[in-house]
């Protein structure tokens, strides 16, 4: 045995991320921190990173304030704090320019985070080299994470050699990141033993989700093979898609002869009570009961625990859409479990054909999204691969680094037919610096860049979500959604909002429609007042269509999915307008769904005569976006 002492890390952030959509508010985190400190058994606590900042923004809270307040108690107690970061993608789902990445490490260290656990979704050492450099430059500890997956290509020797490459490029510690919990325990032990033999003094930390049931055995194998630190969860969010429970791991390691710090059970019960209180307050409204269960069916698809919260939310929305279609076409409706099992099977089909990317954020999302669209299209009698978002294409084309496996010839041919080019250079070169641009934008808006440029970082890292925070839209949408969930009226993302205590007097956002009255086209805005009475048609509020005659002669372009509609993806694009000519296959708009911007293409050519949806509106599947002649 390489060491008789094993230290423990509480992955408090990941506990919530693996259970549901949100994490606790800053005031809640501040309340639970002292109890976690008083438990006396933790050498480290995972406080932020990953989706932490983004989900804070989504419920209208500034993550910079949250991180500073949340880490303070641990800093004062001498407990190391750690964050998760995604290498080229920083702390978002898409690639980040170098200057933004560098600022992130500086800011997070100042805010109180000691260790950066950096992983690359493709295990690409080239993408992580800058993370290791910037972390050390910002006075953080640079930890390199090996994203475990199980395939004929991801062998024990592959991971041992990968650790060598990370350490050569600047990693000061190594994490075995078993994000789906599908690493076989004996193999986990062999990987750690191999790394320990080559690097006797380096700190090795094991992180494993409990979903299919291997992680408790893997924790013991990791300790016996020479790991220094083991990540754990705790009640009420251990097990399920989360992590092995502190008390179980603690008892197991002590029985095996390891030295582990004692647990102050009074403090444990306090932290447990508070965490349950947070679940009961609002977080439980976003925790699917399925995520509290372990599921050995995930051994096959290997989807990670960290994305199961968002996955179940996606299934909830798509199930409603699928069943509408099935009912409309005289077919039997399906259950959420039916859809989940179909998705599991489809991931097993699509994953190898997409090059065997490790199923970790963001690539697990890409594979899951493509697989889910495949499932939906197959249910509707259509072909696979009809919906592949730009981010997934970027992965397939090498814009995030080279895939370990071969891409299916069908996808290669699709790329060629669509004029997409494969890339084999350094992915970071594709994303030029942007801080100056965002600094100028903030000056125009009279927004403060914040102490240590932390607000500038947040805007550059999550521009759309940050704008929604500043406008108040994020908070309003969250409160409306929460109110519907608590009253049991939540159905789809596009449902009309409900009144919320403390929100603005407006019950629902205005809806715009085009109606025909005696052959005359009117564009009307419908507002709903406190009594849910729609406004009447205002005289003079009319807009001629660009064509006249029978609408049956026009061709329509409909949304293939539900979500939030955008005419453009960013400021570099020009929105489609009446009078524009579009060719078959042209991108005409986008729908944000399942954390991705999905390009909507037209299957018809023609001149745009009417655009029916507005930028930023919610849209349902099969809603008409525009009409062509």
Same domain, 85 and 184: yes
- Residue for token digits 């911007």? 597
Residue 415 falls inside a structural domain: no
Residue 512 falls inside a structural domain: yes
Same domain, 619 and 585: yes
Same domain, 29 and 173: yes
* pLDDT tens by residue, 339-374: 888 998 999 999 999 999 988 878 888 898 899 989
> Three-state DSSP class for 556?
strand
Determine the pLDDT at residue 135: 98
Domain that residue 133 falls in: 7-292
Same domain, 287 and 176: yes
* pLDDT tens by residue, 286-325: 998 888 888 888 887 877 766 666 677 777 778 888 888 8
* pLDDT tens by residue, 61-86: 999 999 999 999 999 999 999 999 99
Same domain, 36 and 57: yes
Query: What is the Cα–Cα distance from 480 to 284, expressed in whole angstroms?
Result: 16
Whether the predicted pLDDT of 529 surpasses 70: no
Q: Contact 355/406 with Cβ under 8 angstroms? A: yes
Residue 569 falls inside a structural domain: yes
Average per-residue pLDDT for the chain: 86
Same domain, 118 and 228: yes
Same domain, 595 and 621: yes
Give mean pLDDT, residues 263-292. Answer: 94
Band (487; pLDDT cuts 50, 70, 90): confident
Same domain, 95 and 166: yes
Same domain, 577 and 612: yes
Question: Is-above-0.75 flag for pTM?
Answer: yes
Same domain, 451 and 519: no
Q: Give the end of a domain, one of 414, 445, 471.
A: 471
Q: Give the end of a domain, one of 471, 497, 520.
A: 471
Phi, psi of 116 (to 5 degrees): -105, 115
Residue 452 sits at the vertex; the CA angle it makes with 448 and 458, to the nearest 5 degrees, is: 60
**Of the listed ranges 4-13, 226-235, 264-273, 304-313, the one predicted with least confidence:** 304-313
Whether the predicted pLDDT of 425 surpasses 60: yes
Determine the pLDDT at residue 3: 52
Dihedral (CA of 140, 89, 32, 222) sign: negative
b (16+ CB within 10 A) / e for 185-207: bebbbbbbbbbbeebeebbbbbb
Whether the predicted pLDDT of 499 surpasses 60: no
Determine the pLDDT at residue 599: 77
Q: Which helix (DSSP H) or strand (DSSP E) does residue 596 occupy?
A: strand 596-601
Determine the pLDDT at residue 299: 83
Give CA 106 to chain center in angstroms: 23
Residue 35 falls inside a structural domain: yes
Band (531; pLDDT cuts 50, 70, 90): very low
Give mean pLDDT, residues 542-568. Answer: 67
Same domain, 539 and 566: no
- Residue for token digits 């647990």? 263
Residue 279 falls inside a structural domain: yes
Determine the pLDDT at residue 557: 86
Residue 622 falls inside a structural domain: yes
* pLDDT tens by residue, 125-149: 999 999 999 999 999 999 999 999 8
Question: How many domains is the chain built from?
Answer: 4
* pLDDT tens by residue, 138-194: 999 999 999 998 888 999 999 999 999 999 999 999 999 998 888 999 999 999 999
Band (534; pLDDT cuts 50, 70, 90): very low
Residue 445 falls inside a structural domain: yes
Same domain, 145 and 250: yes
**CATH code of 579's domain:** 2.40.50.100
Whether the predicted pLDDT of 514 surpasses 70: no
Between the ranges 209-223, 520-534, 606-620, where is the mean pLDDT highest? 209-223
Q: Give the end of a domain, one of 515, 544, 573.
A: 544
Residue 487 falls inside a structural domain: no
User: What is the percent of the chain with per-residue pLDDT over 70, rounded to a whole number?
Assistant: 87
């Amino acid at each position: 045995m390489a060491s008789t002492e094993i230290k423990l890390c509480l992955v408090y952030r990941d506990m919530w991320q693996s259970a549901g959509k949100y994490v606790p508010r800053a005031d809640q985190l501040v309340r639970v921190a002292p109890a976690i400190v008083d438990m006396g058994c933790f050498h480290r606590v995972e406080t932020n990173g990953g989706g932490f900042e983004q989900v804070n923004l989504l419920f209208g809270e500034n993550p910079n304030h949250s991180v500073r307040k949340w880490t303070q108690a641990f800093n004062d107690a001498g407990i190391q704090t750690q964050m998760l970061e995604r290498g080229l993608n920083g702390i978002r789902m898409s690639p980040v320019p170098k200057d933004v990445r560098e600022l992130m490490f500086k800011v997070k260290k100042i805010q109180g985070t000691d260790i950066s656990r950096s992983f690359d979704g493709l295990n690409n050492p080239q993408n992580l080299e800058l993370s290791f450099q910037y972390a050390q430059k910002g006075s953080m500890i640079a930890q390199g994470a090996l994203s475990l997956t199980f395939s004929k290509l991801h062998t024990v020797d592959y991971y041992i050699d990968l650790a060598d490459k990370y350490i050569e490029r600047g990693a000061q510690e190594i994490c075995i990141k078993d994000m789906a919990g599908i690493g076989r325990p004996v193999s986990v032990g062999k990987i750690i033993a191999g790394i320990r033999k080559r690097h006797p003094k380096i700190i090795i930390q094991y992180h494993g989700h409990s979903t299919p049931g291997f992680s408790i055995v893997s924790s013991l194998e990791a300790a016996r093979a020479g790991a220094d630190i083991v990540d754990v969860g705790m009640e009420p969010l251990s097990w399920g898609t989360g992590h092995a429970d502190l008390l179980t791991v603690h008892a197991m390691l002590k029985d095996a002869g390891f030295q582990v710090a004692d647990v102050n059970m009074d403090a444990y019960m306090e932290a447990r009570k508070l965490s349950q209180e947070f679940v009961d307050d609002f977080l439980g409204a976003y925790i699917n009961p399925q995520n509290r269960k372990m599921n050995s069916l995930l051994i096959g698809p290997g989807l990670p625990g960290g994305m199961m919260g968002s996955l179940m939310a996606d299934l909830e929305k798509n199930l409603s859409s699928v069943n509408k279609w099935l009912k409309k076409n005289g077919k039997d409706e399906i259950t959420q479990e039916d859809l989940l099992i179909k998705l599991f099977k489809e991931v097993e089909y699509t994953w190898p054909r997409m090059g065997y990317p490790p199923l970790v954020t963001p690539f697990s999302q890409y594979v899951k999204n493509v697989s889910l669209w495949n499932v939906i299209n197959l249910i509707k009698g259509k072909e696979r691969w009809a919906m592949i978002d730009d981010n997934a294409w970027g992965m397939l084309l090498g814009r995030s680094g080279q895939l370990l496996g071969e891409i299916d010839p069908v996808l290669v041919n699709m790329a060629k037919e669509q004029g997409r080019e494969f890339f084999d250079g350094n992915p970071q070169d594709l994303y030029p610096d942007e801080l100056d641009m965002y600094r100028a934008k903030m000056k125009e808006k009279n927004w403060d860049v914040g102490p240590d440029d932390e607000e500038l970082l947040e805007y550059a890292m999550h521009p759309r979500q940050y704008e929604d925070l500043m406008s108040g839209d994020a908070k309003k949408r969250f409160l409306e959604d929460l109110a519907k969930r608590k009253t049991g009226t939540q159905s789809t993302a596009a449902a009309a909002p409900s009144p919320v205590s403390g929100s603005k007097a407006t019950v629902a956002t205005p809806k715009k429609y085009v109606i025909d009255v005696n052959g005359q086209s009117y564009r009307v805005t419908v507002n709903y007042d406190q009594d849910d009475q729609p406004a009447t048609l205002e005289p003079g509020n009319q807009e001629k269509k660009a064509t006249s005659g029978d609408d049956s002669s026009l061709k329509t372009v409909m949304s293939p999915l539900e979500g939030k509609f955008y005419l453009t993806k960013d400021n570099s694009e020009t929105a489609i307008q009446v009078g524009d000519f579009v060719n078959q296959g042209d991108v005409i708009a986008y729908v944000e769904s399942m954390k991705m911007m999905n390009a909507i293409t037209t299957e018809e050519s023609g001149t745009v005569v009417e655009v029916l949806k507005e930028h930023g509106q919610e849209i349902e599947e099969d809603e008409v976006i525009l009409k062509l002649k």
